[in-house]
């Protein structure tokens, strides 16, 4: 793992965005693996600014997001489809026909997860996978105890994750209990992974991911087994590293 520690969130964000832009400039038809959440908002804003400045194009790229809540249609304001359109897709030149997320309102969520996994494999797997890090060590919605070789499937969200994501919903009770998520095995097939984590509240889990044992109790620790991972941190998130 390559660990890059920046003084501020803004510098860390710029670093992560530059890694994505460099990959797209080197290989315009890269298959991107994308994430949602608070950390990614700054990255997408930075990429939009680079796109407007003519520094990066998504025109030939394909993207697959990590996850989506089961039960939420694309139009729901808390769906990840909605998030991605609002935070990135509507502001760059990505082809909407090649920007994919699981369909949370598919009549058969299990079949949808299998279809999504097959679509990723058919696209040749992910070239560059962008990841955030959950307070409990999750990547995507692979909660603790997820199989380290899991594929895209339905996961039950833990209380900690539902509490962390309640900020997006009017009523905490509205946070869905299930999500479709790429598996850890799906993520590990990516050619390259860029994980970002910011803030003192992530310091302990960052240390467990990097320095702890590889264990299902901290799903992100599985990235220790991947040959090309870059972890981008601000100083606060790096605070518990040895």
Active-site residue list: 67, 136, 138, 143
Cβ distance 230 to 194 under 8 Å?
Answer: yes
**Spatial distance between the Cα atoms of 94 and 91, rounded to a whole number of angstroms:** 9
Q: Residue 38 or 124: which CB sits closer to ligand F6R? A: 38
Q: Residue 24 or 195: which CB sits closer to ligand F6R? A: 195
User: In the 8-state DSSP scheme, what is residue 157?
Assistant: P
**Spatial distance between the Cα atoms of 75 and 144, rounded to a whole number of angstroms:** 30
Shortest distance (Å) from residue 182 CB to ligand F6R: 9
Q: Residue 55 or 76: which CB sits closer to ligand F6R? A: 76
Shortest distance (Å) from residue 39 CB to ligand F6R: 3
Shortest distance (Å) from residue 37 CB to ligand F6R: 3
Shortest distance (Å) from residue 132 CB to ligand F6R: 2
Which residue number has the CB closest to ligand F6R? 132
**Spatial distance between the Cα atoms of 54 and 32, rounded to a whole number of angstroms:** 19
Provide, for the chain, the percentages of residues in helix, strand and coil under a 3-state DSSP scheme, each rounded to the nearest 5. Answer: 40, 20, 40
Nearest to 141 by CA among 129, 159, 158, 128: 158
Task: State the chain's maximal CA–CA distance in angstroms.
Answer: 48
Q: Residue 60 or 224: which CB sits closer to ligand F6R? A: 224
The residue ranges that bind ligand F6R (CB under 6 A) are 35-39, 66-67, 132-134, 138-140
Q: Residue 21 or 42: which CB sits closer to ligand F6R? A: 42
Shortest distance (Å) from residue 115 CB to ligand F6R: 19
- Tell me the DSSP string of 87-152: HTGGGS---GGGEE---TT-SSHHHHHHHHHHHHHHTTS-SEEEE---TTS-BTTB-TT--TT--S
CB burial of residue 162 (10 Å; 0-12, 13-18, 19+): middle
């Amino acid at each position: 793992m390559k660990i890059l520690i920046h003084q501020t969130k803004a510098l860390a964000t710029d670093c992560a965005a530059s890694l994505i832009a460099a990959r797209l400039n080197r290989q315009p038809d890269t298959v991107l693996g994308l994430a949602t959440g608070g950390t990614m908002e700054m990255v997408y804003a930075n990429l939009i600014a680079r796109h407007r400045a003519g520094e990066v194009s998504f025109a030939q790229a394909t993207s697959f997001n990590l996850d989506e809540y089961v039960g939420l249609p694309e139009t729901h304001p808390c769906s990840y489809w909605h998030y991605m359109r609002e935070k990135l897709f509507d502001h760059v030149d990505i082809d909407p026909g090649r920007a994919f997320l699981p369909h949370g309102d598919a009549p058969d969520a299990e079949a949808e997860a299998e279809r999504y996994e097959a679509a990723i494999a058919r696209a040749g797997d992910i070239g560059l996978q962008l990841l955030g890090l959950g307070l409990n060590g999750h990547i995507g919605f692979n909660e603790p105890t997820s199989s380290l070789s899991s594929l895209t499937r339905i996961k039950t969200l833990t209380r900690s994750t539902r509490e962390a994501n309640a900020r997006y919903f009017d009523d905490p009770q509205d946070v869905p209990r299930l999500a479709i998520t790429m598996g850890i095995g799906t993520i590990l097939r990516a050619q390259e992974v860029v994980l970002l984590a910011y803030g003192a509240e992530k310091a302990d889990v960052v240390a467990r991911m990097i320095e702890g044992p590889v264990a299902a109790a901290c799903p992100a620790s599985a990235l220790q087994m991947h040959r090309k991972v870059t972890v981008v941190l601000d100083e606060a998130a790096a605070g518990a590293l040895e």
